[in-house]
Amino acid sequence: MKNLLKHINEVKSQTKHKLNESKIVSKRLTLSENISEIVNEVKYLKKQNYSLEIVNENLIAVLNQMFQEDGPMFMDTVKNKLSEFLIQKLNLSDFEKGVIERAIGDTEVDDVPKLFTDARFLSKKLADVYKSGFESDYLENLPDFMKGKVGGMLQDGQSQKELEDSFYDLVSPVMGDIGSKMELKMKDIRDNIVS
């Protein structure tokens, strides 16, 4: 009986904590007036260890509210605003600007909050689009003897991972994925100790 009461109290406490956390996240995100402020607020909330699930839920509500005049097209507006924000913050070629626009534009509606909260998710999408864009835009124009070599490099899993890591290093400071960056640093330290 004591275990049951203890469990019920724990569930009540967790529910109350989640509700309070949700209220705080909602209020903080609601005060944001543009995409840049939202990105900064998400960075802060992640740094303060708020639940990403709660941040994502509230992020959708705030973005929906922010772009309600766009009706069902609001997610397209959100994606366009995020693309513009990244392009403005990063010094990129026209090809890379197109990669950002396509990667974000092709993101499923349910995954849009991850673009704000998970720099690794965004980096993977950018690497995938970069690779396919490179294959279609540049590989076709190479001489036959180079197509095989460059095409082989593109199919290499290590090259894909390196491309993802490069994009991660580029967008992470802008998007503020501190936890994952620390994880990568720890992996580098481990790799250096082993080798």
Quote the pLDDT of residue 193. 47
Q: Residue 103 corresponds to which amino acid?
A: A
Kind and range of the H or E element at 48?
A: none
Q: How far is C-alpha 150 from the geometric centre of its chain's CA atoms? A: 28
Residues 138, 139, 141, 145: what is their CA dihedral angle, to the nearest 10 degrees? 150
Q: Where are the beta strands (DSSP E) in the chain?
A: none
Reduce the secondary structure of 106-148 to three states and give it as a string: CCCHHHHHHHHHCHHHHHHHHHHHHHHHHHHHCHHHCCHHHHH
Residue 19 · residue 51 · CB < 8 Å: no
According to the model, what pLDDT value does residue 148 have? Answer: 64
pLDDT at 72: 58
Q: Tens-digit pLDDT profile for the chain (195 aa)?
A: 677 788 788 888 888 888 888 898 888 888 887 778 888 888 888 888 888 888 888 887 887 777 666 655 777 888 888 888 888 888 888 888 888 999 999 988 778 888 888 888 999 998 888 888 776 666 666 666 666 666 666 667 677 788 888 889 888 888 764 344 444 544 554 455 444
Q: Give Cβ neighbours of residue 18 (< 8 Å, ≥ 6 apart).
A: 51, 54
Task: Report the chain's terminal Cα–Cα distance, integer Å.
Answer: 55
Question: Is residue 18 within 8 Å of 54, Cβ to Cβ?
Answer: yes
DSSP code for 195 = -
pLDDT at 180: 46
Residue 191 has what pLDDT?
Answer: 54
How far is 8 from 153, CA to CA, in rounded Å? 56
Domains in the chain, number: 1
Host domain of residue 145: 2-194
Predicted confidence at residue 92, as pLDDT, reads 81
